[in-house]
Amino acid sequence: MTITRVDVIITCPGRNFVTVKITTKDGLVGYGDATLNGRELAVASYLRDHLAPLLRERDESRIEDIWQYLYRGSYWRRGPVTMAAIAAVDMALWDIKAKRAQMPLYELLGGASRKGVRAYVHASGWDYEALKVAVEGYRTQGFTAVRVQTGVPGLGQIYGIAPAKAGEKYNYEPAKPAVNSLGEPCPVEEEWDSRAYLNFVPEIFDNLRRDFGSSLALLHDAHHRLTPIEAARLGKELEPYDLFWLEDATPGEDQEAFRLIRSHTTTPLATGEVFNTVFDYRTLISERLIDYVRSSVTHAGGITGIKKILSFAEIYGVKSGIHGPTDVSPVGMAAALHLDMTIHNFGIQEFMPHSEETLSVFRTSYTVADGYLHPGDTPGLGVDLDEELAAASPYTPAYLPTNRLEDGTVHDW
């Protein structure tokens, strides 16, 4: 068959999402997620202005060839905008192929390797008491793994912690932009102090192990804010608390920095949510400097792209920890779940539940029970998009926050 239409749908049911919809000559429809938080329209233009004209009249069954044509064939390679656009096309083509085969995508990808997908959720609080309530809530729902983040005494709002301050309602996703002197949206500026953070964090984990015992899996995200030696210190000091992983300890593009962290600590390490190809992981994986790869399907070239990363990781015993925040759409989440079901080196899946508003536009067939997710058995990815509802929620300009030290210096985050 051939592709007859490529539509790009931008909608904001509670937050922005960019979706590609590919239609074939015989009327099959596939969806792909192209959402890049705070840079949504750049990917929409890449799809609409540059990829769509190349896809029409092409044989939609040739997924690998189309991936290589869009990646290798375009001369300009890699980067989050390019790879999110390619990812969306790739997901939509897999959706179509599985619908044509009348199988849920995980069957087409090799079938189930496990009964379900173990998920971790985000628990956070301004202080330990608020965090404890959040963790208790998730335990009651049956989750066995939680990412735990708190505020730091002396610092204000920190991305990744909700609510930002005692008594406030602010949530970190979707990130709320600030307003500049011209009345236009711009990134909120947060403040950071690594010393205050490092001196405070071990006490949080001490409290967690005291209150929740040893079986609960605890994860923590340093969100690229540390230097290698600071990360080494943190990993070492958290060893008694048996973390599932310490995530994004340092900015990940400096792959060699992980040699220093690794030589100092046995705390498992995860990184890669801002990476988009296997090349970004070459040193990290081949030198066994990390334990989990964090790319999302949406930002790493789709099913085809992330399979290349996970196959490379598999031979070094490195496992998956696919990124699953609410800025990945339900389509991108479904793609992750189908892969998670099949790959051998599955580790854990991040799960931030989407809002009711989002799920009224994106109707999913995936389920959650007892801390496990399952993609469901609807043919394809199992996600439908209500285009009328989508059109009723137009794009709203959005920015992730930025980060500065007390003296005003821009800092990693």
- For residues 371 and 156, the answer to whether their CB atoms sit within 8 Å is no
Question: From residue 64, how far is each of 52, 122, 308 by CA, in Å?
Answer: 17, 35, 11
Return the H-helix or E-strand segment holding 119: strand 117-125
Q: How many CB atoms lie within 10 A of CB 184?
A: 10
Interface with ligand EZ4 (CB under 6 A), residue from 125, 151, 325, 332 = 325
Q: Is 323 in the active site?
A: no
Cα(10)–Cα(123) distance, rounded to whole angstroms? 29
Nearer to ligand EZ4, 93 or 148 (CB): 148
Cα(320)–Cα(103) distance, rounded to whole angstroms? 24
The helices-and-strands tally (H runs, E runs) of the chain is 14, 19
**Which candidate in 71, 159, 292, 366 is catalytic?**
159
Which residue type is seen at 278?
Answer: V
Interface with Co ion (CB under 5 A), residue from 40, 221, 230, 291 = 221
Cα(20)–Cα(88) distance, rounded to whole angstroms? 6
Q: Is 170 in the active site?
A: no
Closest approach, Cβ 223 to ligand EZ4, in A, equals 6
Closest approach, Cβ 325 to Co ion, in A, equals 8
Using the contact rule CB under 5 A, the part of the chain among 119-127, 197-205, 221-229, 367-375 near Co ion is 221-229
Closest approach, Cβ 284 to Co ion, in A, equals 15
Interface with ligand EZ4 (CB under 6 A), residue from 33, 90, 221, 340 = 221
* Contacted entry of Co ion, ligand EZ4, none for residue 267, CB cut-off 5 to 8 Å set by kind: none
Cα(137)–Cα(156) distance, rounded to whole angstroms? 25
Closest approach, Cβ 237 to ligand EZ4, in A, equals 21
Closest approach, Cβ 267 to Co ion, in A, equals 16
- Residue 37 as a binder of ligand EZ4 (CB under 6 A): the answer is yes
Question: From residue 145, how far is each of 23, 122, 218 by CA, in Å?
Answer: 39, 9, 6
Considering only residues 380-409, where is the footprint of ligand EZ4 by CB under 6 A?
A: 400
Binding-site ranges for Co ion (CB under 5 A): 221, 273
Binding-site ranges for ligand EZ4 (CB under 6 A): 37, 173, 221, 223, 273, 325, 327, 350, 400
Active-site amino acid positions = 159, 223
